[in-house]
Amino acid sequence: MTGPNQPAQGQGSYHASALVVPPRPDEVGFPLRQDEYETLCEGELSEARASRDLSFGIFVGAIVGLCGVWATTDWSTIWQPEKRRPFLAWSVVLLAITVASGIAAIIYHWRLRRTRTNSPYSRLTKKITSWFEAQQDVAAPPAVQGVPAKPSVPAGLLSEVRFDRPGSPLDQWHFTSDDATNKSAPIFSAPDESPGGLRMTAPGTHHIDLKVGAKERRCNRLLFRTKPRGDCPESYVYANVSAASNDGKPAKAVWIACDVGDKTPATHGPDECIIFRTPSPDGWATFDLSLPEEIQRSPFGKQGLRFAELLGIRVRGSISVSPIGLYLENISG
């Protein structure tokens, strides 16, 4: 007796949902950056371009030579037997060179144009170029509330404010309470979601301040994440900046409070405004702040103020904050 028919054992496959993808054979590849790929493409076409240009140069040279022969010919005596033979020989040679080089230049130009616009080479280069452009779009974070998208890791890092050094953040920060009846220090801990960050538990009247040094005062961009505790209003991270007046008045210190939500910037007293960023599902909001642009878009910009320098950073209330990156970037325009 024979047993039941067994299904044929085929080559193993990878299963992803309803898609069956056979394993690809081993392939040898070489990684290229975009600039290296563009260099390779330029080199691929350089030979055809050089041949076209050489043919065109010979064509022009033959035309000039032919015109020179004919311009210096004494047409009244050229048909004499002793003069006719050299004249016809040079004319035929130059005409042949002219026609041959002209046809070659046209053929090389046609082939070059076809290679660049309608060939397997052109289709592959368009595909790879589109892939590089797509990677650039993926690398940039989406715009938030009309703020232009920027690279996730900006250039020009001056320093990073971290909270994972031994001891309390008060080693570097100054604690202040606006409540005269409650001077108890905040409770500090480390948030699991952000290594090197800080979780501060305190009333909204309590805050810690960090004054930046001369080097960090040049900072014009901040990058950090925050997660305020929902039951403690007025829990913010502040940027304390010096704002100069366009009419020559003395600069003044103003405060930019960073809050979570989907709102437009609003004033909160004469020297303070609040900006907002939409949090992710885990409650953390990313603040990638170009300080000159934030001042310009804020109510301070409508008052004719512009960013001058960074003075300090404040953490207030019950809030978690990641390490804070301080950057110096060139401002175009």
Query: How high is the mean pLDDT of the chain?
Result: 79
**Beta-bridge partner residues of 326:** 159, 222
Structural contact between residues 179 and 289, judged by C-beta atoms closer than 8 angstroms:
no
- pLDDT for 153 equals 52
**Beta-bridge partner residues of 253:** 242
111-123 per-position pLDDT tens digit: 888 877 777 777 7
Mean pLDDT across the stretch 218-228? 94
The dotted CATH code for 157-327 is: 2.60.120
Structural contact between residues 115 and 48, judged by C-beta atoms closer than 8 angstroms:
yes
Residue 234 has pLDDT above 90, yes or no: no
- For residue 93, what are its two tokens? 């040679």
pLDDT band for position 331 (cuts 50, 70, 90): low
Q: At what angle do helices 81-117 and 34-71 cross, to 10 degrees?
A: 160
The more confident residue out of 62 and 10 is 62
